[in-house]
Amino acid sequence: MKNLVTIFYKFRYIILIISQIVFFFIYKLVLEDYFLKVIRNFSESLDLFYYLKIFIYLPRSIFVSILILSIIILLRERILNSLLKLDEKLFITLLLVFYVVIQVNILLFIKTVPYSDSKRYLELAENLFISGSYINEYGNKTAFYPVGLPALLCLLKKFFDDMIIAGRILNIIFSTGTMFFIYKVFRLMMSRKELYIFLLTYFLFPNNFFSVNPILTEQGFTFLIWLLIYLFVNHKKYFSIVGGLILGLMLYFRSYSLLILGVIFIYYLKEKMLLVKLREIFLMAILMVFMILPWIARNYQVFNSFVPMTTNDGFNFLMGNHKNSLGNINFNFEYNISNPNEAEESKKAYLKAFRELKENPIKLLYLIPFKLFHTYKRGDVYITWSLKQTENELNPLFVSVMFYLTNLIFYFVLIIGTMKLFLINNFTMHQKFFIYLLISFIIVCLVYVGNERYILPVLPIHFYFFSLNVEESY
């Protein structure tokens, strides 16, 4: 197995280009008519027009992608050697400035219209601003969507007239801050050459540029998790205090943030440091609970039951495990979203899912690969959320190229990064921590529902392993 992986890794760039040439001809000769026929049968007009743009222009997109990647591959050593002459601080500064400039231009020239969850968060924020209460479209007090982003948008509304523009400016701050902390985390774990490859690959990954436009929880959550990781890996003296407060804030964006404390616990346990760090973990847990106590109290008053953060866990569990589910985002199941007692409805969803799984327990096993597939099936999350619905007409070739090239880079990084796990002889302590963290996010998807958005915060870990030089392990 390792020998096969080694051979594949050695010829990775040749295989990449050849595979794209082969795919170009297969698509033109065999797949094009089939894909276009399937897309024209889409019931959602939004999906219909978006994917028609992509797949009508896909042959040209494949050609453009082959051209871009071929130039990069041929010149990669020359480009890298030139950049290595730059001082590290200057290099990261130039990258961050370039990153912000691109995001500002996307904000100005791509007029994204919020839809689905983005639209919902804005509506909840508007309701909160007007009424002073976190209520849904039915006028009921809600905890279905995490309150963190709507509360933050509501706060911005007090200072800015346009909540959408304010939210997008905040996205630039979040994503730039995330990039900075990611750099600070990995700079001491990689050689200078590896670091520059990592920074170039991840900072210039097209999907990241488009994180400016969608109004979603991922941007804020990702910023907080990498701030927390930065404090953790650098052994900051105040980590237990600040870390506990950050974990509390993270829970307001994503309810599974509690898992990260579990990852830290397991890491200390595996590294035989638990007794020394037990006090630190306990303090973090206390501060985290202290941060969310007001929300727990509010939810208990509203739903007359213990609801730590959100009431959508039953919904998500049923979505990923009902009898017709293939582990993906789908809505072909019964769920009374208008029930004022959301906690009660969530419990009903759990019971229904467990009943159906009990009738077919084997499904627990064969859903795992489906959920894993749906978690990693695409790397264009922010691009799609940004380009699917816009006020201004965009060049369809641009949309298609962004979609295809981004996914191609995503799959390549994912495959090569995973292969390197087989080629690394001895994992460092920090590498083990990243693997534990990545596994924790995957477990959430395997238990609930496969969703490519859930894996976004830990995507830098894949790029980290992709950028490592393991050739000496041959």
- Burial category of 82 from C-beta neighbours within 10 Å (exposed 0-12, middle 13-18, buried 19 and up): exposed
Q: How far apart (Å, rounded) are the C-alpha atoms in residues 472 and 191?
A: 14
Query: Would you say residue 474 has pLDDT above 50?
Result: no
Residues 28 and 58: their CA atoms lie apart, in Å, by: 9
Q: Tokens in use for 232? A: 């953790």
For residue 384, give both structure tokens: 């799609």
pTM tops 0.75: yes
Given a cut of 80, is residue 366 above it in pLDDT?
A: yes
**Is residue 219 within 8 Å of 174, Cβ to Cβ?**
yes
Q: What angle do CA 17, 22, 27 make, to 5 degrees?
A: 125
Q: What per-residue confidence (pLDDT) applies to 285?
A: 95
In this structure, is the dihedral angle defined by the CA atoms of residues 329, 330, 331 and 334, taken in order, positive or negative?
A: negative
Integer Cα distance of 199 and 213 in angstroms: 22
Q: Determine the average pLDDT of the residues in 290-297.
A: 97
Instruction: Read off the pLDDT of residues 9-36 as tens digits, 9 standing for 90 and up.
Output: 889 999 999 999 999 999 999 999 999 9
For 196-219, how does the pLDDT look when each residue is reduced to its tens digit (9 = 90+)?
999 999 999 999 999 999 999 999
% of the chain at pLDDT higher than 70: 99
CB 452 within 8 A of CB 374: yes
Whether the CB-CB separation of 201 and 182 falls below 8 Å is answered with no
Is the pLDDT assigned to residue 284 strictly greater than 70?
yes
pLDDT at 397 over 60: yes
pLDDT at 236 over 90: no
Give the span between the Cα atoms of 32 and 56, in whole angstroms.
8
Predicted local confidence at residue 276, as pLDDT: 84
Residue 473 is given by DSSP the state G
Q: Are 134 and 142 in contact (CB under 8 A)?
A: yes
Least confident range from 15-24, 187-196, 361-370: namely 361-370
Nearest to 424 by CA among 371, 386, 467: 467
Cα distances (angstroms) measured from residue 442 to each of 182, 259, 373? 20, 11, 11
User: What is the reported pLDDT for 10?
Assistant: 86
Q: How far apart are CA 95 and CA 99, in angstroms?
A: 6
CA dist 399 and 406 (Å) reads 11
Q: How far apart, in whole angstroms, are the C-alpha atoms of residue 69 and residue 13?
A: 9
pLDDT digits 0-9 by tens, 61-85: 999 999 999 999 999 999 999 999 9
Q: What is the pLDDT of residue 73?
A: 95
Mean predicted lDDT score pLDDT of the chain? 94
Q: How large a percentage of the chain has pLDDT more than 90?
A: 88
Query: 370 φ, ψ to 5°?
Result: -65, -45
Instruction: Please give the full DSSP string across 159-181, using - where no structure is assigned.
Output: T-S-HHHHHHHHHHHHHHHHHHH
Give the C-alpha separation, 164 to 114, whole Å.
9
Instruction: List Cβ neighbours of 215 (8 Å cut-off, separation of 6 or more).
Output: 114, 118, 121, 122, 149, 153, 164, 167, 168, 171
Contact 462, 417 (CB under 8 A): yes
> What range does the domain containing 170 cover?
2-473
pLDDT digits (tens, 9 = 90+) for 36-57: 999 999 989 999 999 999 999 9
Query: What tokens were used for 267?
Result: 């890491």
At 370 the pLDDT is 96
Q: What is the pLDDT of residue 1?
A: 63
Classify residue 332 by burial, with Cβ atoms within 10 Å: 0-12, 13-18, 19+.
Answer: exposed
Q: What is the pLDDT of residue 256?
A: 85
Which tens digits make up the pLDDT trace of 417-468? 999 998 888 899 999 999 999 999 999 999 999 999 999 999 999 999 999 9
Residue 473 has pLDDT above 50, yes or no: no
Rounded Cα distance between 71 and 239, Å, is 44
**Whole-number pLDDT of residue 471:** 63
Q: According to the model, what pLDDT value does residue 158 have?
A: 87
Q: Helices in 27-57 by DSSP H: which ranges?
A: 32-40, 45-56
Confidence of residue 188 (pLDDT cuts 50, 70, 90): confident
Q: Give the CA-trace dihedral at 203, 205, 211, 217, to 10 degrees.
A: -90
CB 202 within 8 A of CB 182: yes
Q: What is the pLDDT of residues 305-358, one digit of tens each?
A: 999 999 999 999 999 999 999 999 999 899 999 999 999 999 999 999 999 999
What is the reported pLDDT for 472?
A: 45
- Dihedral-angle region of residue 469 (phi above 0 means left; psi in -120 to 50 means alpha; beta otherwise): beta
Q: What does R_g of the chain's alpha carbons equal in angstroms?
A: 23
Given CA atoms 85, 459, 211, 154 in this order, what sign does their dihedral have?
Answer: negative
Domain count, the chain: 1
Phi-psi region of 202 (alpha: psi -120 to 50; beta: other; left: phi over 0): alpha
With a cut of 90, say whether residue 277 has pLDDT above it.
Answer: no
